[in-house]
Amino acid sequence: MTASLSTAWPRTAVASATSVLLAACLWTAAPPAQAQNAGAVAPTATAPAAAHPAAQTLQAQIDTRAKAIEQQLIAWRRDIHQHPEMGNLETRTAALVAAHLRKLGMEVKTGVAVTGVVGLLKGGKPGPVVALRADMDALPVKEQVDVPFASKAKGVFLGKEVDVMHACGHDAHVAILMATAEVLAGMKEQLPGSVKFIFQPAEETPATFEPDGQKIWGAKQMIKEGVMQNPKVDAVFGLHVSSSYPAGWIAWRPGPAMAAADQFWIDVQGKQTHGARPWQGIDPIVTGSQIVMGLQTIISRQSNIALEPAVITVGTFHGGNRMNIVPDTVSMTGTVRTYDEGMKKDIHQRISTTATNIAESAGTTAKVKVVELYNAVVNPPDLTAQMAPTLQRVAGSGNYGVMPKASASEDFSFYQQEAPGLFFNLGVTPKGTEPAKAAPNHSPHFYVDESGLIYGVRALANLTVDYMLQKQ
């Protein structure tokens, strides 16, 4: 069995896939050439930690141990891929993870934030605490990739039976972090610090309830339950596999890297009447349409997009049930994507003002609700500059770059509010395939070239060791 799935099994029908968008992450970054031109950090031969006497020895150990576990890494990924579970339902995945961490001799907590697992590896020497995070949940997508381990799983999403697939690559994230745990556990006595392995549920939002602004889940719930404390985390690292880069390519960005994601609901009250006599009622379809158009002027005419880009999208619009009846109500939902906290708050207010004032001009009312889902992922420039040489060394010359801002979102942002954190992309598109033509994350055709996974293991392990040594 080869390490690269692309050489072992045929890849089918990836060019015209339809993306499935949920509130969380849809990965659409720039292809490598564009990423390099977006201000890539100049190559550095070795990370600053290489000056430490132990650095090169530990780096060599990581490479050796990662290579030794590569086939097991791929086996884990395929097993998890074949048995996907949606947000807050990841019981099988969590049990697999917990058993592995216990086998490695770690302190293990289960049932964190419903199904999350946290393992603590105490190094043989004093030093900082580094957290590494992987998300475990899958999506309500029917897989259309022709591989022997394709998902045939069913599940329940918000009360409806659906097909389930790891269409965003979280199966790869879990397998990478399981392998990283084994690599670092084998070096335990030489580690100048401790490592928390965070396996998180529900990054894509829960399958069991609709976000309402009151309930919490995923990273935010794990933080509330103390995952970043006892011992307190000094730095946190995470990655996401992406179809936008060749297998093994590593991309990152200092500062705002991924957008905040918020959801809004607008209900327009009308007055039902016969479609032939609209003047006898109030048409919420016309009023709602005016609100949709009005919302677009918030970005194009009212927001300072020279500061940061922003997006408002209305994704659903429902009203009426017959061609000749003006209905009583219209309901719409949408998403807001921003990178600046001040702009986000201002846009929220303008959504409410725009909808209510347009409805008032029509002689009716609009009820507006905005729920904040995820904050922007912001990589601290100082930490990013500090660790960029590590990523460069792992990727190798010509296999890394700085990515442009992504309008996707990620709840890794909440960990970054608790400790300095760096989040980066790992390419998984087969080499020789044009990334722009590859099926994107969230597509039923999303495909992972497994030859890239070992780079994720090496990256997370080297980031951990280099950070610890630099802190000394």
Q: At what angle do helices 55-68 and 70-82 cross, to 10 degrees?
A: 50
Q: For residue 427, give both structure tokens.
A: 């390419």
CA–CA separation, 435 and 120 (whole Å): 37
Tokens of 356: 């209510």
44: CB partners within 8 A, 6+ apart: 388, 389, 392, 393
Q: What distances in angstroms separate CA 120 from CA 217, 292, 429, 458, 461, one per listed residue? A: 22, 49, 32, 19, 15
Rounded to an integer, what distance in angstroms lies between the CA atom of residue 143 and that of residue 158?
19
Q: Where are the beta strands (DSSP E) in 159-226?
A: 160-163, 192-200
For 472, other C-beta atoms within 10 Å of its C-beta total 13
Helices and strands per DSSP (H, E), number in the chain: 12, 18
Burial of 48 (0-12, 13-18, 19+ CB in 10 A): middle
| Annotation marks residue 447 as catalytic | no
Contact indicator for 168, 204 with CB cutoff of 8 Å: yes
**Which is nearest to 97 in space by CA: 86, 105, 108, 89?**
108
Beta bridge partners of 129: 194
Dihedral of alpha carbons 89, 95, 100, 101, sign: positive
Residue from 90, 410, 450, 467 carrying the catalytic annotation? 450
* 245, 339, 374, 455: the active-site residue: 374
Q: Which residue has the tokens 């005419």?
A: 301
Q: What is the DSSP string of 127-171?
A: EEEEEEEEE---BS-------TT----EEEETTEEEE-B--SSHH
Residue the block writes with tokens 């998403």: 335
Work out the angle at residue 428's Cα, subtended by the Cα atoms of residues 10 and 175, and round it to the nearest 5 degrees: 100
Nearest partner of 394 among 158, 66, 21, 161, judged by Cα: 66
Q: Which of 393, 413, 401 is nearest to 455 (CA)?
A: 393
245 catalytic? Reply is: no
DSSP code, position 300? I
Question: Which of 430, 420, 434, 412 has the alpha carbon at shortest distance from 463?
Answer: 420
Question: What is the C-alpha separation between 259 and 271, in angstroms, rounded?
Answer: 38
Q: For the chain, what is the largest distance between any 2 Cα atoms, rounded to a whole number of angstroms?
A: 85
Task: Identify whether the C-beta of residue 352 lies closer than 8 Å to the C-beta of residue 368.
Answer: yes
* Catalytic sites, residue numbers: 374, 450
